[in-house]
């Protein structure tokens, strides 16, 4: 081992951090090299000096100041912090997510109720055979009587009602859809 | 630490009392400003509390908290460098001369009657003048007494690099201290 290599390992040798093979090599080198042995001694002195430096102690109220900061932080975060906090391992989402999910569900439910029109108030729609439509006026079918099969003024049965459209079966049997004005008492014209 | 993770402030208080001296010392040896070192140490503990859920039980708590402290101390050094408009904090302090330039007198040897406080001050200044990457390795090893393995984890460098940095730090410090290196301060 040459001096340059030995000097690279001196601190690790002092700290007993060398492998067995490295330890033997360094020890053998130091036994035969006054310069490196002297350097090793000086490095040990450096280590000893640094380790004997007085420690800086915390001021007396250090712990209280840290705990005060922790406490203030906890208070500042307040209730909404709890809303956002999710406990590891919990299957429940964070409270804030629960609230948000409830609001979204509520909005959807409200929208659905507003848009839903019960059968009893559905607009009067009629389905007629195209043969009866030619120039014929039709009376609106009473919407409050869905249980009975709606009939045209002329007695023709209505096939079926599809929301605001009337399904019309033509003479050739091909269905056609026509819009119907809602809740009109006057005859509907196609 | 488990109780602290669960949110116990009493458990956290015990941690603060147990580690405060080591953390303040570490930061102080990094930046050389005692008052600022306490401020940063407070920040270290606050972060430990805030991020306590991130602590991995498999790792050593001391390694985790020293990593936080080392990072905050390095941030502080960068902040100081930015404020001074220089590239390196050591450059600012070391422009007056080469190795040993700050010593009051180069002739005194180990046998003069220099006070313990004065030698302590000289050694502390010499440590602060080491390049940061050598200084942090030296502080973690010789001030805090951490193992090479822990130092590697904290600084995120391989074992061979830890060995090399510690060695170069000591060699550099030996040059800066001259005869003062042979003084025992105890």
**B48 or A182: which leads in pLDDT:** B48
Which of A49, A66, A69 is opposite residue B185, by nearest beta carbon?
A: A49
Indicate which of A10, A41, A50, A65 best probes the interface with B, i.e. most B CBs within 10 Å of its own CB. Answer: A50
Statement to judge: residues B133 and B58 lie in one domain: no
Cβ-Cβ contacts under 8 Å, A73 against chain B: 46, 50
Average pLDDT of span A91-97: 69
Domain contains A100:
no
Number of domains in chain A: 2
Domain contains A144:
yes
CA B62 distance to own-chain centroid: 15
Q: Give the Cα separation of A44 and B124 in Å (integer).
A: 17
Q: Which residues constitute the domain of residue A165?
A: 115-190
CATH number of the domain enclosing B21: 1.10.1740.10
Q: What is the DSSP letter of A163?
A: T
Average pLDDT of span A3-24: 92
**A121 or B135: which leads in pLDDT:** B135
Domain contains B93:
no
Statement to judge: residues B79 and B2 lie in one domain: yes
> Does the model's pTM come out above 0.80?
no
CA angle A120, A107, A94 (to 5 degrees): 145
- Of B120, B115, B31, the closest CA to residue B76 belongs to B31
CA angle A152, A157, A158 (to 5 degrees): 85
Q: Tell me the average pLDDT of chain A.
A: 68
A86 has pLDDT over 50 = yes
Domain contains A162:
yes
- Of B130, B102, B128, B108, the closest CA to residue B182 belongs to B108
Q: Give the Cα separation of B65 and B42 in Å (integer).
A: 12
A99 has pLDDT over 60 = yes
A162 has pLDDT over 70 = no
pLDDT, residue A74, reads 77
Domain contains A40:
yes
Q: What is the dihedral of CA B110, B112, B115, B121, to 10 degrees?
A: -50
Q: How many CB atoms lie within 10 A of CB B131?
A: 13
End position of a domain, from candidates B25, B56, B85? B85
End position of a domain, from candidates B61, B85, B109? B85
Interchain pair B38, A49: CB under 8 A: no
Statement to judge: residues B7 and B63 lie in one domain: yes
Interstrand relation of A161-162 and A175-179 (parallel, antiparallel or unpaired): unpaired
Domain contains A57:
no
Helices (H), B85-158: 89-93, 116-128, 132-138, 148-155
pLDDT, residue B9, reads 80
Average pLDDT of span A70-93: 68
A15-34 pLDDT, tens digit each: 999 999 999 999 999 999 99
Domain contains B91:
no
ipTM of the complex: 0.76
Cβ-Cβ contacts under 8 Å, B148 against chain A: 12, 15, 17
Statement to judge: residues B105 and B151 lie in one domain: yes
pLDDT, block means (10 residues), chain B with 186 residues: 73 90 92 90 92 78 91 89 62 39 44 69 89 92 92 93 95 84 54
- Of B39, B41, B37, B40, the closest CA to residue B124 belongs to B37
Domain contains B94:
no
Q: Give the Cα separation of B149 and B63 in Å (integer).
A: 10
Question: Looking at CA atoms only, how far is residue B92 from chain A in angstroms?
Answer: 23
Domain contains A88:
no
Indicate which of A23, A26, A43, A46 best probes the interface with B, i.e. most B CBs within 10 Å of its own CB. Answer: A46
Statement to judge: residues B111 and B186 lie in one domain: yes
Banded model confidence at residue A183, pLDDT cuts 50, 70, 90: very low
Tell me what percent of the residues of chain A surpass a pLDDT of 90: 24
A186 has pLDDT over 90 = no
CATH number of the domain enclosing B172: 1.10.10.10
Tell me what percent of the residues of chain A surpass a pLDDT of 70: 50
A43 has pLDDT over 80 = yes
* A92 φ/ψ angles, rounded to the nearest 5 degrees: -80, 140
Interchain pair A66, B45: CB under 8 A: yes
The answer for residues whose C-beta is within 8 angstroms of residue A161's C-beta and 6 or more apart is A122, A125, A126, A127, A150, A167
Interchain pair B34, A62: CB under 8 A: no
Banded model confidence at residue A83, pLDDT cuts 50, 70, 90: low
Banded model confidence at residue A56, pLDDT cuts 50, 70, 90: confident
Which of A12, A49, A73 is opposite residue B183, by nearest beta carbon?
A: A49
* A183 φ/ψ angles, rounded to the nearest 5 degrees: 50, 40
Interchain pair A56, B21: CB under 8 A: yes
Cβ-Cβ contacts under 8 Å, B163 against chain A: 9, 11-12, 17
Statement to judge: residues B170 and B109 lie in one domain: yes
Cβ-Cβ contacts under 8 Å, A59 against chain B: 38
Number of domains in chain B: 2
Give the residue on B whose Cα is nearest the Cα of A46. Answer: B181
Cβ-Cβ contacts under 8 Å, B34 against chain A: 56
Statement to judge: residues B38 and B109 lie in one domain: no
A133-159 pLDDT, tens digit each: 433 334 444 444 344 444 445 554 445
Q: Which residues constitute the domain of residue B45?
A: 1-85
- Of B15, B132, A77, A88, the closest CA to residue B23 belongs to B15
Statement to judge: residues B119 and B69 lie in one domain: no
Domain contains B92:
no
- Of A135, A134, A98, A125, the closest CA to residue A184 belongs to A125
């Amino acid at each position: 081992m040459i001096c340059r290599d030995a000097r690279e390992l001196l601190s690790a040798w002092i700290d007993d951090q060398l492998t067995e093979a490295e330890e033997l090599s360094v020890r053998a080198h130091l036994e035969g090299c006054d310069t490196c042995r002297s350097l090793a001694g000086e490095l040990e002195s450096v280590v000893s000096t640094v380790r004997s430096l007085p420690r800086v102690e915390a001021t007396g109220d250090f712990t209280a100041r840290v705990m005060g900061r922790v406490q203030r932080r906890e208070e500042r975060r307040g209730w909404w912090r709890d809303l956002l906090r999710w406990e590891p391992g919990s299957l429940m989402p964070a409270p804030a997510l629960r609230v948000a999910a409830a609001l979204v569900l509520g909005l959807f439910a409200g929208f659905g109720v507003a848009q839903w029109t019960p059968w009893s108030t559905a607009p009067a729609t009629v389905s007629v055979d195209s043969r009866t439509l030619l120039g014929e006026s039709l009376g609106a079918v009473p919407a409050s009587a869905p249980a009975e099969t709606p009939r045209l003024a002329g007695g023709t049965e209505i096939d079926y009602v599809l929301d605001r459209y009337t399904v019309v079966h033509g003479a050739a049997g091909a269905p056609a859809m026509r819009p119907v004005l809602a809740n009109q008492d006057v005859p509907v014209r196609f | 630490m488990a109780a602290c993770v669960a949110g116990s402030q009493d458990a956290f208080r015990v941690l603060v009392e147990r580690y405060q001296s080591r953390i303040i010392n570490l930061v102080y040896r990094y930046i050389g400003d005692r008052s600022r070192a306490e401020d940063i140490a407070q920040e270290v503990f606050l972060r430990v509390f805030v991020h306590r859920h991130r602590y991995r039980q498999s790792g050593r708590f001391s390694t985790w908290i020293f990593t936080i402290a080392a990072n905050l101390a390095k941030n502080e050094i960068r902040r100081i460098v930015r404020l001074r408009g220089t590239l390196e904090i050591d450059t600012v302090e070391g422009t007056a001369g080469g190795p040993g330039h700050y010593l009051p007198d180069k002739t005194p040897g180990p046998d003069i009657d220099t006070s313990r406080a004065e030698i302590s001050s000289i050694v502390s200044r010499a440590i602060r003048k080491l390049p940061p990457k050598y200084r942090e390795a030296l502080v973690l090893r010789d001030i805090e007494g951490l193992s090479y393995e822990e130092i590697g984890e904290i600084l995120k460098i391989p074992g061979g690099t830890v060995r090399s940095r510690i060695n170069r730090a000591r060699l550099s410090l030996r040059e800066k201290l001259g005869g003062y290196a042979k003084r025992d301060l105890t």
